[in-house]
Amino acid sequence: MIETPPYLKKGDTIGLICPAGYMDEEKTLACINTLQEWGYKIKAGKTVKSNSENYFSGTDEERLTDLQQMLDDDEVNAVLCARGGYGTGRIIESIRFKKFRKNPKWIMGYSDITVLHSHIYSNYYISTLHSPMAVAFNNGGAGNEYVLSLKDALEGKKLSYTVSGNEFNRKGGEEGELVGGNLAILAHLVGTGSDCKTKGRILFIEDVGEHLYNIDRMMRQLKRAGKLDKLNGLIFGIFTDNKDTERPFGLPLHEILWNIVKEYDYPVCFDFPVSHSDKNYALKVGVRHRFKVNEKKVVLEECD
């Protein structure tokens, strides 16, 4: 049975950290200001103000310590990861979840944060939030529907999204716990202690900056690992900044994906607004959802 962390109320504290890649502190200011306008207090971790000169927001030990302190801090009610990139997988085995399991709190983010979403759900059946991160609040983004979906999620509103249909969609309607995240991370987690459980679930997948052949390879890895066999539904998000090789792969993205899943009978949708772009709805990982696909529209909504 999935455990849902307490939703937030005004005056609660959100911890802000960078458990993976480096992010300029200035790029977090719009996020901090907006969260405060929503009524929350902010506790910024040391990795947000890192003086790192390499890819990461601090050493593995520094990033681990920052995350661990936020997980264990009784005054922190939720944790927002400011950015992804790469690095969470380097520290996941050292994180202690004992106190977090007794007092769960929302863990938020996407991309590399898929490591945390998958690990926490598959091992402890605690819900997390696949959501916009700090950069989404910049350049006027704080008022768009995608960032505001994070606000709705934190306040405990039942999330419901309706989007237009796609010619590659496969019709159907199912229910299941929602799991997923970044394709590259999900593929890399196969066979590890953070491997994503997919049987009977609704799986969502997105990615950024990948060559078409690599998308094909990672999807086929999930297929060979049995991750696509017994789904209740599959949601392909928006794959941004795709690249082809000098000698073309030979198929466009949607056909690559469709050829891998066409043999199954569960509902499938393409281009759902979950991505590395500004079109990135908040999704409650682990929570049971209804998924309906027809010719004209796709509906994804939390079950009552």
* 94 annotated active-site: no
User: Which is nearest to 253 in space by CA: 162, 165, 188, 168?
Assistant: 168
Spatial distance between the Cα atoms of 97 and 126, rounded to a whole number of angstroms:
11
Amino acid letter, 11:
G
Per the rule left: phi > 0, alpha: psi between -120 and 50, beta: everything else, 111 is left
Residue 117, phi then psi, degrees to nearest 5: -55, -50
- How many other C-beta atoms are found inside a 10 Å radius of the C-beta of residue 11? 9
* 164 annotated active-site: no
Task: Please say whether the beta carbons of 282 and 238 come within 8 A.
Answer: no
Q: How far is CA 9 from the centre of its chain?
A: 23
Per the residue annotation, which of 117, 130, 276, 289 is the catalytic one? 276
User: Which is nearest to 204 in space by CA: 259, 272, 293?
Assistant: 272
* 122 annotated active-site: no
Per the residue annotation, which of 130, 177, 194, 206 is the catalytic one? 206
User: Which is nearest to 238 in space by CA: 271, 261, 204?
Assistant: 271
- On the 0-12 / 13-18 / 19+ scale of CB atoms within 10 A, 144 is middle
Per the residue annotation, which of 111, 118, 131, 149 is the catalytic one? 111
Name the residues annotated as catalytic.
111, 206, 276
